[in-house]
Structure 1
Amino acid sequence: MFQGFSDRTIDFMWGIRFNNEKSWFEANKETYLRDFYQPMRELNREVWERLNAAAPDLGLFGKVSRIYRDARRLHGRGPYKDHLWWSIQRPTDEEFARRPVLWFELEPEGWSYGMGYYQAPPVTMAKLRHRLDHDPAPFEKLVRQIKKQDRFTLETEDYKRPKGHLSALLDPWYNARSFALSRDHKGHQPVLYSHDLVDLVGEDLETLLPIYRYILSVEADPDPRN
């Protein structure tokens, strides 16, 4: 059962940032497993249980990231990450960034969670635009619900040349090549240190399930570019 993170969790993240080498990590590995990785796994499991109960047909699964960086992509950085995240998504052979996922991340400066599609295939975004061109009302309703909650902020990577104009509400989505709905927190508030975090993150991510479903359904549409 998730009991919360602790000051040891935060101290470890800062420690690995400034001592990113094997000897320091090995000397503090037990702290990492006990105070960082294991609580992250427990949080992931309990939030997954809530989302899976709310949408059993999606077949969602949870996964916690590795602290080890890909040796092929170090680019002068140390071999370890100073943060961890977990994802909840449908089973897939695709890379994390190429599938829509629900996520939570804890890092030295703060924490965040939401839904992201960070490297959405161009064909998927073309399908979304085609849907919005022909039947925008269902997606408009979902976007209005998200904006009304005032919890998540839409973050996008846009095409250099806009794809078109529909409305002030839908244009940010229509012209995005990838996107995320994110709730970001600077610092480490008391909720991180208690089981209340499960309820907060679980409740908020559950409100994103309708738009997550919508994006999944878009992927099944025929390619409008043909």
Structure 2
Amino acid sequence: MFTGFTDETVDFMWGIRFNNERTWFEAHKEIYLTQLYQPMRELGSELYDFIRDKRPDSGLICKVSRIYRDARRLHGRGPYKDHLWIGIRQPADEWTARPTFWFEVTPDGWSYGLGYWMPKPVTMAKLRARIDRDPGTMEKLTRGLNRQTEFVLETEDYKKPRSQAPSELLAPWYQAKSFSLCHEDKLTEELFSRDVVDRVKKGYEFLLPYYDYFAALDGDPDPRDA
């Protein structure tokens, strides 16, 4: 059971940020395993069970990220990441093209939410077509998002909108090439106790209707065939 991260968790992440080399990591690997990786696994297990109970037929899995960087993508950086995260997602090779619940801890803070980081262009076309057919459903979801303060909509936008939104309220969805519903925080006290579990569960419960809406896009007709 997750009981919270520790000061050693944070010290390790700062340490690997400034000592990103194999010798340092190997000397501190036990701290990584016990103070970062294992607590993250325990937290992920609890959050996954929560989502699975809410959506038992969703087929989601939970993955803890690797601390090792892909050797093909170092680009002058060290071989290790200075952060760790979990993703609750579909078991797809191109998982970044599917909506994903996540939780991440870094040396500076923590974040969680629902990410759709690399949806395919046809998926976003399906989203716009669905909103055109039924703007009311997304308007309701967007108003709910705008009324709360836990999550913000973060988008990577097209240089030019692909089409005209039915209303100003829905314009951000028409401009988005990718997006996430994200909460970011500093190293608050709740991160070092079980309080963060309850907060993230409450947040995930709020996000579930958004997940349902986006996860169903794959089954929509391809608007290019219309």
TM-score, normalisation: structure 1: 0.96
Alignment of 1:29-68 (within 5 A): 29-68=29-68
Listed one character per residue, the Cα deviations across residues 88-134 of structure 1 (whole Å, up to 9, x for unaligned) are 1122232x322210101100111100011111100000000001111
Partner residue, 2:213: 214
Q: 1: distance between equivalents of 2:199 and 2:149?
A: 14
Determine if contact 2:98/2:215 at 8 Å carries over to the other structure: no
Which residue identity is paired with 1:223? D
Q: Distance in 1 between matches of 2:144 and 2:198?
A: 20
Deviations 1:60-90 (A, max 9, x none): 2111000000000000000000000110112
How big is the alpha-carbon RMSD for the aligned residues of Structure 1 and Structure 2?
Answer: 1.0
Shift of 1:59: 2.1
Report the more deviating stretch, 214-223 or 159-168: 159-168
Between 1:126-135 and 1:55-64, the stretch displaced more is: 55-64
How far apart in 2 are the matches of 1:43 and 1:183? Answer: 17
- CA deviation vs aligned residue, 1:121-168 (integer Å, no higher than 9, x gap): 000000000011111111111222222222110010111111223222
Large movers: runs of 4+ above 3 Å: none
Report the AA paired with residue 196 of structure 1.
Answer: D
CA shift, 1:24, in A, is 0.1
1:72 corresponding residue in structure 2: 72
The match for 2:132 is 133
Residue of structure 1 in register with 2:184 after alignment: 184
Equivalent-residue separation in structure 1 for 2:109 and 2:195 (angstroms): 17
Task: Tell me which residue corresponds to 1:115.
Answer: 114
Q: Normalising by structure 2, report the TM-score.
A: 0.96
Which whole-Å CA distance do the structure 2 matches of 1:217 and 1:32 have between them? 38
State the AA in 1 paired with 2:51.
L
Stretch deviating more after TM superposition (55-64 or 38-47)? 55-64
Q: Which moved more, 1:13-22 or 1:155-164?
A: 155-164
Q: Which amino acid aligns with 1:190?
A: E
Say how many residue pairs are matched: 224
Alpha-carbon distance between aligned partners in 2 of 1:35 and 1:167, rounded to the nearest angstrom: 48
Q: Which amino acid aligns with 2:179?
A: F
Q: Unmatched 5+ residue regions in structure 1?
A: none
Question: AA paired with 1:33?
Answer: L
* Alpha-carbon separation, structure 2, partners of 1:62 and 1:165: 35
Aligned identity (percent) is: 58
Query: Match of 1:119, SS?
Result: coil
